[in-house]
Amino acid sequence: MVQSSVLGYPRIGENREWKKALEAFWAGKIEEAELQETLKQIRLTHLRKQQAIGIDLIPVNDFSYYDQILDTAAMFGIVPKRFDYAGGPVPLSVYYGMARGTAEATACEMTKWFNTNYHYIVPELGDAAPVLTENKALAAYREAKEELGIEGKPVIVGPLTFLKLSKGYQAEEAQAWLNKLVPLYAQLLQELGAEGVQWVQVDEPILVTKLSKGELEQLQGVYATLAAAAPNVNLIVQTYFEAVDQYEALTSLPVKGIGLDFVHGLAGNLAAIRKYGFPQDKVLGAGVIDGRGIWKADLAGKLDLLNELAAIVPADRLIVQSSCSLLHVPVSTRQETKLEPVLLHALAFADEKLAEVELLARGLSSGTSAIAEDLTASKLAIEALEQSEARSRLDIQAAAAQIAAVPAERNQPFAARHAAQEAHWHLPFLPTTTIGSFPQTAEVRKARQAWRKGEWNEEQYAAFIHEQIDYWMKLQEEIGLDVLVHGEFERTDMVEFFGEKLAGFAFTSNGWVQSYGSRCVKPPVIYGDVAFVEPMTVKETQYAQSKTNRPVKGMLTGPITILNWSFVREDLTREQIAYQLAYALRQEVEALEQAGIGMIQVDEPAVREGLPLKAEEHAGYLAWAVKAFRAATCTVADTTQIHTHMCYCEFHDMIDSIEAMDADVISIETSRSHGELIESFEHHTYPLGIGLGVYDIHSPRVPSIDEMTAMIERALRVLDPKLFWINPDCGLKTRGIAETAASLRNMVAATKAARAKH
């Protein structure tokens, strides 16, 4: 019999109960005992769902109080010295202190989990002396067994992945750290074995990245040790998000099972298994149901794939499973009552994916006739969406194809544009500007609520937005900024705002996914051809421009950021969707230009987030990402100044691509990536306009003139002063009014000093 499994289930709960419980606990509204009980009930609910659907190998210990990497660090007592921790099981106060910071100690760093939008807490090894402080996997296994009679499959983060994602050690100390960690893993597995645990899923997503020779040896050493230490436990070394780098080495490990991603690593993993086969003594976890996308699977196609695999790995050694943890998709489509039926029927969130996994396992065991109805249903739903009007915009498809076919070039190269712009705009030396948003005060949020609920009509809301703009236009002039912005008061979110105004997008009611800690996001769904409907930002920008003689910069979100922060259709490539977005945004850019707005900023903070995991695919992605940006912005006059903005990522190794975007001016966050970004300009003369953020906008603290002067001086050592702009790191929407005004006044004062000096 073929078995079914998933690699993990979302923690947040169908109505984000998990988030609410965590936040209530942090706010002191509930005690620890109540938190524990609430979370236990959430856990059991999730297990019951999987049991009811008939999943054979149900994951346990995939649940977390915050993040699974933080759990692993805590389980090994790896707590930085700045926290008040004296050994033993890590108390919740310390655990949450590491995640969120305390009054005395700053939080641990947080970073993106591979190429997903999930963020994990980075363990700090430093001088830690790891011990097994508690066996969380065992506790989870016992709970599932005692409460529900489930023979669970504990999930743990494998030693290689844990080590590679940690910081606070030198590369040459890796083996020494493994020597400390692996015995703890062995102990953990032995305890599981003594309890009668049969299967343990050891997550090693690091194995899809390029491994050095040394790491390959470590891989073999680690699993030889673990397999010998716990011979009665079946280990599945689980990979996901891409094809594995070293298929032969991986499949020759002395473990019982290997899990491969046949969705996001389909081509590579399939080629490897066809070429090298699969060992007779192992079980294959075949990840065929997409754990990251939200679409129904083409079940017939998946069965074909599984049948091919079953010819290599006999059915009794096959596990049909999700490609990765279902953590990355929303919980269920059950609450989606407002979506168009043709879209709704084509969606599968976590619960629907459980059903798909079970169906496929059944279909493979008992033959297609056993699931014939479901095969037809999935086929019809997918076809209906494919043939829907939303996906039949021939004009859009042709325009996107045209963008793909021709180069996206401004009329003139930068030097000529720069001269034309200087003559046109007469900006002062070292011009000052901001990134777009101004404080979204409680008043602004309340007004939007009132309007959304229908308590305010369009006119009332527009009048309120105008008042906000009036206030900030006056204030910006008084502060002495050179290029002004309208403040983005009408926007909640930089992607949602545009998605709501473009065709081809849908918004779920409850499609939340965990981003970090209790923070969830609800990505828009790009399900149809993306089309411009009517101007989206012209009215507010034009209104702001009518209030001042200084230039007002229009403000848009770029094609790649919209793409990377949405769930997208899969019948087109991401590149094709990017070109559709570029075409739509180009029309907005042109509408702004026509309305007399001659400076237009197209934000692209998320370009780096779309970077493929495999280094050899970086160049291809960056080429079309850059082209989509250029396509959105290249049709304007020479005097029209295109700006862009990027933040909170490591940009120092992609300066070439940033330059290739050919924006007349880029503003880029500098404080977090500090030295690195500025250093990279030492080796690379940046030939376009650029503003390196002169202050961090994440704290209410007002930066001093001296601090900003120091930032400006540092930047001017490596960048051409004639092309340099002065701006904060990012938008100011999370800040208060008073501190924003004070900070900007200091920024202008620092600029005046720099102007006098240079």
The binding site for ligand GLN (CB under 6 A) comprises 435-437, 488, 494, 555, 603, 605, 645, 647, 730-731, 733
User: Per the annotation, does 277 bind a ligand?
Assistant: no
Coil vs helix vs strand at 593: helix
Measure the CA–CA gap between 329 and 510, rounded to whole angstroms.
11
On whether the CB atoms of residues 287 and 260 are closer than 8 A, the answer is yes
Q: What does 607 interact with, of Zn ion, ligand GLN, none (CB < 5 to 8 A by kind)?
A: none
- Select the residue interacting with Zn ion from 364, 577, 592, 730 (CB under 5 A): 730
Q: Which is nearer to Zn ion, 261 or 604 (CB)?
A: 604
Strand 257-261 relative to strand 234-238, pairing: parallel
On whether the CB atoms of residues 106 and 82 are closer than 8 A, the answer is yes
Binding mask 589-628 for Zn ion (x = CB under 5 A): ----------------x-----------------------
On whether the CB atoms of residues 725 and 667 are closer than 8 A, the answer is yes
User: Per the annotation, does 730 bind a ligand?
Assistant: yes
- Select the residue interacting with Zn ion from 121, 647, 661, 666 (CB under 5 A): 647
Strand 503-506 relative to strand 513-516, pairing: unpaired
Candidates 486, 674, 698, 758; catalytic one = 698
Q: Which residues pair with 261 in a beta bridge?
A: 287
Q: Which is nearer to ligand GLN, 320 or 658 (CB)?
A: 658
User: Per the annotation, does 117 bind a ligand?
Assistant: yes
Q: Who contacts 730 (Cβ-Cβ below 8 Å, separation ≥6)? A: 435, 605, 645, 647, 648, 669, 693, 697
User: Per the annotation, does 616 bind a ligand?
Assistant: no
Q: Which is nearer to ligand GLN, 261 or 603 (CB)?
A: 603
CB 697, min distance to ligand GLN, A: 9
- Our answer to whether residue 643 is catalytic in this structure is no
Residue 495 interacts with Zn ion (CB under 5 A)?
A: no
On whether the CB atoms of residues 119 and 110 are closer than 8 A, the answer is yes
CA angle, 721 then 725 then 726, to 5° = 115
Under DSSP, the state recorded for 57 is B
CB 738, min distance to ligand GLN, A: 19
User: Per the annotation, does 519 bind a ligand?
Assistant: yes
Task: State the sign of the Cα–Cα–Cα–Cα dihedral 536, 116, 322, 145.
Answer: negative
Q: Which is nearer to ligand GLN, 242 or 603 (CB)?
A: 603
Nearest to 90 by CA among 43, 54, 46, 123: 123
Q: What does 733 interact with, of Zn ion, ligand GLN, none (CB < 5 to 8 A by kind)?
A: ligand GLN
Q: What does 481 interact with, of ligand GLN, Zn ion, none (CB < 5 to 8 A by kind)?
A: none
Q: What does 494 interact with, of Zn ion, ligand GLN, none (CB < 5 to 8 A by kind)?
A: ligand GLN
Q: Who contacts 133 (Cβ-Cβ below 8 Å, separation ≥6)? A: 74, 75, 76, 77, 87, 88, 89, 90
CB-based burial, 182-207: b 16+ in 10 Å, e otherwise: bbbbbebbbbbbeeebebbbbbbbbb
Nearest to 71 by CA among 180, 162, 4, 182: 162
Q: Which is nearer to ligand GLN, 437 or 564 (CB)?
A: 437
Q: What does 604 interact with, of Zn ion, ligand GLN, none (CB < 5 to 8 A by kind)?
A: none
User: Per the annotation, does 112 bind a ligand?
Assistant: yes
CB 743, min distance to ligand GLN, A: 14
Q: Which is nearer to ligand GLN, 151 or 609 (CB)?
A: 609
CB 380, min distance to ligand GLN, A: 40
Q: Which residues pair with 531 in a beta bridge?
A: 503
Q: Which is nearer to ligand GLN, 556 or 634 (CB)?
A: 556
Q: Among all residues, whose Cβ is closest to ligand GLN?
A: 731
Strands lying side by side in the sheet with 3-5: 3-5, 318-322, 283-289, 257-261, 234-238, 199-203, 153-157, 59-60
CB 561, min distance to ligand GLN, A: 8
Find the length of the chain: 758
Q: Who contacts 479 (Cβ-Cβ below 8 Å, separation ≥6)? A: 741, 744, 745, 748
User: Per the annotation, does 393 bind a ligand?
Assistant: no
**Considering CB under 5 A, how many residues would be counted as binding Zn ion?**
3
User: Per the annotation, does 713 bind a ligand?
Assistant: no
Q: Which residues are annotated as a binding site for 5-methyltetrahydropteroyltri-L-glutamate?
A: 16-19, 112, 117, 519-520, 565, 609
Residues engaged in binding Zn ion (CB under 5 A): 605, 647, 730
**Residues identified as active-site:** 698
Residues of the binding site for Zn(2+): 645, 647, 669, 730
Annotated binding site: 16-19, 112, 117, 435-437, 488, 519-520, 565, 603, 609, 645, 647, 669, 730
